[in-house]
Chain A
Amino acid sequence: MSDSALPRYAFAAPQRPWPGVLLAAAVWAAAGALIRIWPDEADFTRLLSTIVFGIAVALSLLAAAGPYLPERAAKVRFAAPWAIALAVALAAWEVITAKTGYLPRPFFVPPQELLGVFVDDWAKLFECVAHSVLLLASGYALGSTLGFLTGLALGWSKAVGYWGHPILRLIGPLPATAWLPIAFFMFPTSWSAAVFLIALASGLPVAILTWSGVSSVGGAYYDIARTLGGSPRFLVLKVTIPAAMPNVFVGLFMGLSASFAVLVVAEMMGVKAGLGWYLQWAQGWAAYGNMYAALGVMAVMCSSLVTLLFQVRGRLLAWQKGLLRW
């Protein structure tokens, strides 16, 4: 063939599908076949295998389309090992519970029973998530706002620091759940008591970390702002707060974890709604499937909220990116 007659790459050859994702599709298909063909006595086995086949089909479509995706989207192919591992784990779980009964019911639940919980009880679970998120958000927003303002006042004002330091030293280490009996007794509703407890749990770390952030702001920054004509208000808003922000976010993350713990306990002890309550209710009926389902939902909820906070930090502290790794 002559070099000049035709542009050599005028027609792009069809790209080969992503091999890793293709393999994952095959493993999912195998898992689906195993679930469908091996008989068992559980409900929802057919539905589960249909979903698993659906995932296999989706993965094979992705494998075929993958080479044509833009580079950003193409990163999903690195999740192929995880997709394979999940299918293997699902199959193993299925075998040792539904298929062989090696792990006994009711303490161990086969996957299709968990699926059944979502099919039968999704409305209630959804309501519980909504209730938990609302309660958590109310308490956390209140707590972190007050904690931030308290920390700022402690670090900025000598008088507030003088009076606030011993108080914070004393009540800071007390776990918020220790206030639970008093809170449910003092507050008019269990909901407001729970908001108080969550606010306390999240507010304390935010206050302490904000305070330490404020007190570690270098004097040189203030010197510069002052010689350039900065008023005290300018110093707080444009020097203290931005300089303390990395510390504030450490406090916000600590406060968020603490508030999860308090949320669950408060819902179990007094608030008659939310995922914590659902867990306890399921325990009362020995409905282990419902408990596992609620745990899974709770894990997704908490990790989504943490991810959200990471996103906010990434936005606000973009300037830090070159300074440290996270």
Chain B
Amino acid sequence: MVNPATAETALPAGMALEIDGIRHAFTLEGKPLPVLSDVSFNVEPGEFVALLGPSGCGKSTLLRLLAGLEPPDLGEARADGAAITTPDPSRVVVFQDPTLFPWRTVRANVALGLEAQGLMKTRAHRIDEALERVGLGAFGNVYPHQLSGGMAQRAALARALVNDPRLLILDEPLGKLDSLTRMSMQSEIVDLWRRDGFTTLLVTHDVEEALFMATRVIVFSERPARITADIAIERDYPRHRSDPYFADLKRRVFGLLGMDATW
């Protein structure tokens, strides 16, 4: 496992997370809808944790709580020991829906975080770097409606990456990509994570993707979500998709997701 704690800064490049007894419910048509029931787990700095679970079980909700966009009903999430109460640019989210600002060009969308933090003077060069990295170098000046769905997702990824996050929260960031682009983006994200050492949480429906990228996979139950399994993936990088180790794990995870019949 890779965990390059940088020597210059007091804090490691990755953020430590403690998720402690979180419960959360929504009100739907006047009735309470429990979504998270007693979710607890810790994440070490620099870990890459994939979250798997059935659709609608509460994964995106958990990510919103960790981003600080909403407070949990009960329990607490802590980043490096401090309770998460508000959003912070050290914790950057790539949402399930790319939601680029339609009135801004792609480059201006990617610049959003730097503008918000007043870093345009010193770090503007990062914008084109990030665009290159997601393969949108030639599309900086176009508007979002001129992009394909997959390109918009890649632009959203670039918008997150320019901020040098210590925690990168990815909610199905590659869902709209074709399988080839998807594979190359998976490798790209893993490379970035290995280079920069940030902590990563990845929600995905693709078991193979989770196994190929993450150091650890957490499986959730149907709503209200509980953790049903927490599996460490002990394979070094670069990984190979054909590794038989992954085939065995895959069968196990599909079993946990209630799909054993087809395996």
Give residues in A with beta carbon < 8 Å to B: 218, 220-221, 223-231, 234, 238-239, 242-243, 245, 317, 319-320, 322-323
| A-binding segment of B71-79, B83-91, B235-243 | B83-91
A interface majority secondary structure: helix
| A239 (CB) vs chain B CBs: closest residue | B101
* Chain A residues whose CB sits within 8 angstroms of the CB of B104 once the complex forms: 242, 319
B146 at the interface (CB under 8 A from A): yes
> How long is the Cα–Cα vector from A323 to B101 in the complex, in angstroms?
13
Tier of interface size on chain B: 20 to 34
| A246 (CB) vs chain B CBs: closest residue | B103
> How long is the Cα–Cα vector from A317 to B145 in the complex, in angstroms?
14
* Chain A residues whose CB sits within 8 angstroms of the CB of B163 once the complex forms: 228-229
Task: Choose from A229, A231, A243 the contact partner of B113 (Cβ within 8 Å).
Answer: A229
> Are B88 and A223 neighbours in the complex by a CB distance under 8 Å?
no
Beyond A220-B95, A228-B89, is A319–B112 a contact (Cβ under 8 Å)?
Answer: no
> What are 5 A-B pairs with beta-carbon distances under 8 A?
A220-B97, A223-B64, A223-B95, A225-B116, A322-B145
Chain B 48-91, CB-CB to A under 8 Å as 1, else 0, gives: 00000000000000001001110000000000000000011101
Task: Choose from A227, A234, A242 the contact partner of B101 (Cβ within 8 Å).
Answer: A242
Task: Choose from A218, A230, A231, A245 the contact partner of B103 (Cβ within 8 Å).
Answer: A245
Beyond A242-B103, A243-B103, A322-B146, is A227–B93 a contact (Cβ under 8 Å)?
Answer: yes
> Are A228 and B113 neighbours in the complex by a CB distance under 8 Å?
yes
B117 at the interface (CB under 8 A from A): yes
| B102 (CB) vs chain A CBs: closest residue | A319
* Chain B residues whose CB sits within 8 angstroms of the CB of A319 once the complex forms: 102-104, 143
> How long is the Cα–Cα vector from A317 to B97 in the complex, in angstroms?
23
B interface majority secondary structure: loop
CB distance from B70 to the nearest CB of A (A): 10
> Are A227 and B145 neighbours in the complex by a CB distance under 8 Å?
no
Task: Choose from B67, B91, B97, B112 the contact partner of A225 (Cβ within 8 Å).
Answer: B112
> Are B146 and A224 neighbours in the complex by a CB distance under 8 Å?
no
Beyond A319-B102, A322-B143, is A227–B67 a contact (Cβ under 8 Å)?
Answer: yes
* Chain A residues whose CB sits within 8 angstroms of the CB of B99 once the complex forms: 218, 220-221, 224
Task: Choose from A229, A317, A323 the contact partner of B89 (Cβ within 8 Å).
Answer: A229
B92 at the interface (CB under 8 A from A): yes
> How long is the Cα–Cα vector from A245 to B68 in the complex, in angstroms?
29
Task: Choose from A220, A224, A239, A323 the contact partner of B145 (Cβ within 8 Å).
Answer: A323
Beyond A220-B99, A238-B115, A245-B103, is A227–B146 a contact (Cβ under 8 Å)?
Answer: no
* Chain B residues whose CB sits within 8 angstroms of the CB of A224 once the complex forms: 93, 95, 99, 101, 112, 159
* Chain B residues whose CB sits within 8 angstroms of the CB of A320 once the complex forms: 102-103
* Chain B residues whose CB sits within 8 angstroms of the CB of A228 once the complex forms: 89, 92, 112-113, 116-117, 159, 163
CB distance from A35 to the nearest CB of B (A): 53
Task: Choose from A226, A230, A238, A323 the contact partner of B69 (Cβ within 8 Å).
Answer: A226
| A238 (CB) vs chain B CBs: closest residue | B115
* Chain A residues whose CB sits within 8 angstroms of the CB of B89 once the complex forms: 227-229
* Chain B residues whose CB sits within 8 angstroms of the CB of A323 once the complex forms: 102, 145
> How long is the Cα–Cα vector from A223 to B67 in the complex, in angstroms?
9
CB distance from A194 to the nearest CB of B (A): 36
